[in-house]
Copies of this chain bind each other. A is one copy, B any other.
Amino acid sequence: MPNPTAAIILIGDELLSGRTRDSNMFFLAQELTRLGIDLRLAQVIPDDAATITATVRDVAGRFDNVFTSGGIGPTHDDITADAVAAAFDRPIDVRADARAILEIYYADRNIEMNAARLRMARIPDGAILIENLVSAAPGFSIENVHVMAGVPRVFEAMCHSLLPGLASGRPVLSQTWTVMRGEGEIATRLAQIAGDHPQVSIGSYPFSKDGVYGTNVVVRGVDGAAVEAALVAIAEAFPA
């Protein structure tokens, strides 16, 4: 059975302007690889309600899991929850369970509850809350779409709450063999080895260090014996 598939939608003008360098996709990609869930697509889109709604609609139908990051805080530019509700034609309002979580958290810290903070309890009808052990305000799952925060510490905490409950697959194993020769020198032989080992994917990543060219050859696959066989063939073709 093939592994489940996934896409991630990163929502935020700050990523598209170059103000912020993504770390949430990088984090989630590694977690999904460990779980055997194949990340097939990432999209970075602006803080625009119509774009968020259209993108969620499009992507939700094409992948087993969709993760979103960003736009669920208390400020005017936090529009993701409403835009995702619209994608599923679901009503959205302050929900009692989410409100209770925030009230307890703020009461413990002598922080006043106000209208802005209460926006973080807006949850679409029928959605399941995603726990946030960092700052309480929950994410939520609606059908196969998992809506999480953009702040990396909170995003990662939500992933830790969410991911163990998802259907997973066979973890993708990865082995790297470093060859101290340029890609152009090893490419022909490497293509033959790739053809001989159709069960794995073989990637080639050139680098240069202190003026010396080298290539990291990465073998990936779910079958450990197949990964090992390809790695042995590569090591024999290009001895250290």
Q: In the complex, A202 Cα to B78 Cα: how many Å?
A: 11
Q: Do residues B43 and A17 form an inter-chain contact, with CB atoms below 8 A?
A: no
Q: Do residues A187 and B22 form an inter-chain contact, with CB atoms below 8 A?
A: no
8 Å CB contacts to B: which residues of A1-46?
13-23, 25-33, 39-46
Listed residue (A16, A75, A218) with the most chain B CB atoms within 10 angstroms of its CB = A75
Q: Any chain B CB within 8 A of the CB of A107?
A: no
Q: Any chain B CB within 8 A of the CB of A94?
A: no
Query: Contacts A116-B188, A187-B116: A18 and B32 contacting too (C-beta < 8 A)?
Result: yes
Query: Contacts A29-B18, A33-B17: A76 and B190 contacting too (C-beta < 8 A)?
Result: yes
Q: Any chain B CB within 8 A of the CB of A110?
A: no
| A187 proximity list for chain B (CB < 8 A) | 73-76, 116-117, 119
Distance from A141 Cβ to chain B, minimum over Cβ atoms (Å) = 22
Distance from A233 Cβ to chain B, minimum over Cβ atoms (Å) = 14
Q: Any chain B CB within 8 A of the CB of A115?
A: yes
8 Å CB contacts to B: which residues of A90-120?
111, 114-117, 119-120
Distance from A117 Cβ to chain B, minimum over Cβ atoms (Å) = 4
Listed residue (A32, A73, A74, A111) with the most chain B CB atoms within 10 angstroms of its CB = A74
Query: Contacts A17-B172, A47-B203, A174-B17: A111 and B184 contacting too (C-beta < 8 A)?
Result: yes
Q: In the complex, A44 Cα to B45 Cα: how many Å?
A: 12
Chain B residue nearest to A120 (CB atoms) is B184
Number of interface residues of A (CB under 8 A): 67
Q: Do residues A201 and B13 form an inter-chain contact, with CB atoms below 8 A?
A: yes
Distance from A153 Cβ to chain B, minimum over Cβ atoms (Å) = 8
Chain B residue nearest to A21 (CB atoms) is B26
Per-residue CB contact flags for chain A residues 156-195 toward chain B (1 = under 8 Å, else 0) read: 0000000000000000101000000011111110110011
| A21 proximity list for chain B (CB < 8 A) | 22-23, 26
Chain B residue nearest to A176 (CB atoms) is B19
| A223 proximity list for chain B (CB < 8 A) | none
Q: Any chain B CB within 8 A of the CB of A77?
A: yes
Q: Any chain B CB within 8 A of the CB of A206?
A: yes
Q: In the complex, A22 Cα to B183 Cα: how many Å?
A: 21
Given contacts A115-B188, A116-B188, list 6 more A-B pairs with CB under 8 A.
A14-B203, A14-B205, A17-B39, A25-B44, A77-B202, A111-B182
